[in-house]
Chains A and B, each alone.
Chain A
Amino acid sequence: MTPLDRLSLAHLWVSILAFGAAAAMAFMQALSRANLDLPWRSAKMYYLSVTAHGVLMALVFTTFFIMGFGYVVATRVLGRPVAAPRLAWTAFWTALAGTLGAAAAILSGRATVLYTFYPPLRAHPAFYIGAALLIVGSWLWAIALLATYRAWRRDHAGEPAPLAMHGMLATVIVWLLATVGVAAEVVLLLIPWSLGWTRTVDPILARMLFWYFGHPLVYFWLLPAYVIWYTVLPRAAGGKLFSDPLARLVFILFIVLSTPVGFHHQFMDPGVPAGWKLLHTFLTFGILFPSLVTAFTVTASLEVAGRMRGATGLLDWLGKLPWGDPLFSSVALSMILFAVGGFGGAINASFGMNAVVHNTAWIQGHFHLTVGSAVALTFMGACYWLVPRLSGRDLELKLLAKVQPYFWFLGMLCFSIANHLTGLMGMPRRIYDASYGGSAAASQWFGLTGLSAVGGLLLFTSAGFFMLVMIGTGLAGPKREPEAIEWAEPLQPVDPKPSLLDRFGLWTALAILLIAIAYAYPLWAHLQMPRFGSPGYSPF
């Protein structure tokens, strides 16, 4: 194993272990929501586990996977070492120290603030400082990746970045733009407040800054998944990428449109003028477009693969695809679940109709189809592909790896459909007691909360299979010769000259301009209002 592979693997293992811990928390919550009388079941334990699940899944599992995958792309696609290996390891240890600090605060019951950490819920300072360190670690990672790309550019002047690197550069830019918001929230508002240096905090300002970050966070998760869909899946299917320029266009559109959309998470919040919420509504619908283009391009790539395997009919190419390959099935099934999630997203983003689903179980049904499926299932599939190649060990327990994506798919359908329906029936999210004190309305939800629990059981089984395969491979997989990491080729040759789509500086400048238009005035207007702030609140 090379030092570079060790760097990538270290990140993947933190990601995998965080996933395993978070999955166990999720199973407990699903059973609790089904009103099963478990030992040690209490509101305190429930909210602690919801917080740990959200933070470990949404922030730790994803961030460490993306960091590790970024190094794989930078070194294997560009064919050169990381430009600043010491910085890369510093990034890893900084992010890990932050993660352990935040996890300690959560597991000791002193940071039960859920993954959104909205004030006035107040956590122990270790939670906020840990979160800040995780972000600082990711910034150092971004610098290491950009330095590697610049070194490559010096030797390849006038060439466009390979598509996988193009996608990772878009990921880095989106992340650097987005994390300005959460860094401001945590450093300027929450850390001083949690340390007692300030008595009150402005919850609305904190929410504006959080959602400035919170929605592009979705694209920080999603863009590396798209890199896998565009540059790994077509090859795994035995075909070629349908269109390289369309893929580049998609990544550029995400740079431009990812950030100025956060108010669609605040449609019900006071303090944000309706006109600005409407602007963010339009921009949010704008960002559906690159995902629709992705659906087309990736599906067309799979059609190309099916044709190359001998299909001739309108849809028979679907049957020619390698559904028994865990990499392929994970990614393909994640795309189907994401398509269902896209429907819910269009409702969430609609200014008026958001009221129908606001703060209901619909929301958790939705984001488990996006981050919990499109992202998580893609990353799991990528682990089946990457861990053996990086560690030089064969995949263990291959049968479990084959069935695992299907368990996830079925489990997520049960879980998400049940939560969408109960959400439409008015069931609030983030409530511990599913009986709601024995109310008549709540009794109508019981069958569906049971279906959600069945989904949770299937998901937990799937997560267990994934962990067994990964740990088995890492500890006992038969050693083998190192295998190359190969990427999909486009159907038509890539233009050797850079195009407008390769001008990252231009698109980043446009993104900053759009962010300024979407956020500068509402933030300024908010800061001019009389603001009273809130003292901290810890329910447990």
Chain B
Amino acid sequence: MTQGKPLDTEHPKGTLVLIGLYGLLLAAGWFAIYFLVYLRRGGVTP
């Protein structure tokens, strides 16, 4: 969406960047807990 073009015919590029980044962070966070906490230590109580 750039100035001068109709808003309803262009992709929301900024949104795609933000949502893509969020998806990557979500996956990275999940794997971080999996490898660094779950596999290393296991549950709260053994």
Contacts and interface: CB of A to CB of B under 8 A. Distances in A.
A491 B17 contact: no
A494 interface: no
Contact of B17 (A310, A314, A342, A347): A314
A292 B24 CA distance: 13
Interface stretch (A209-217, A225-233, A301-309, A461-469): A301-309
Closest 4 CB pairs of A and B: A355-B43, A300-B12, A300-B15, A299-B15
Contact of B37 (A315, A318, A356): A356
Interface in B11-37: 12-15, 17-19, 22-23, 25-26, 29-30, 33-34, 37
Interface residues of A, number: 39
Contacts of A347: 30, 33
Interface in A286-328: 292, 295-296, 299-300, 302-304, 306-308, 310, 312-315, 317-318
A339 interface: yes
Nearest to A297: B15
Given A295-B19, A356-B37, A307 B44 contact: no
A296 B19 contact: yes
Contacts of B12: 242, 299-300, 303-304
B19 A353 contact: no
A357 interface: yes
Interface of B: 1-3, 7-8, 12-15, 17-19, 22-23, 25-26, 29-30, 33-34, 37-38, 41-44
Contacts of A300: 12, 15
A443 interface: no
A137 B37 CA distance: 45
Point out which of B14, B25, B38 has the most chain A C-beta atoms below 10 A from its C-beta: B14
Contact of A343 (B3, B26, B37, B42): B26
B19 A343 contact: no
A291 to B, nearest CB: 11
Contact of A426 (B18, B25, B44): B44
**Does more than half of chain B's interface fall in helix, strand or loop, or is it mixed?**
helix
Nearest to A239: B7
A317 B7 CA distance: 13
A343 B25 contact: yes
Contacts of B7: 240, 304, 307-308, 491
B31 to A, nearest CB: 11
A341 to B, nearest CB: 11
Nearest to A352: B38
Contacts of B1: 303-304, 307
A296 B15 contact: yes
A343 B29 contact: yes
Contact of A299 (B19, B29, B30, B42): B19
A191 B12 CA distance: 54
B44 A360 contact: yes
A314 B14 CA distance: 5
A534 to B, nearest CB: 22
A343 B17 contact: no
A308 B4 CA distance: 10
Given A299-B19, A308-B7, A310-B3, A317 B43 contact: no
Contact of B26 (A308, A342, A356): A342
Contacts of A359: 44
Given A302-B15, A310-B3, A357-B44, 18 more contacts: A292-B19, A292-B23, A295-B19, A299-B12, A300-B15, A303-B14, A304-B7, A307-B7, A315-B17, A343-B30, A347-B30, A352-B38, A355-B42, A355-B44, A356-B42, A356-B44, A424-B33, A492-B8
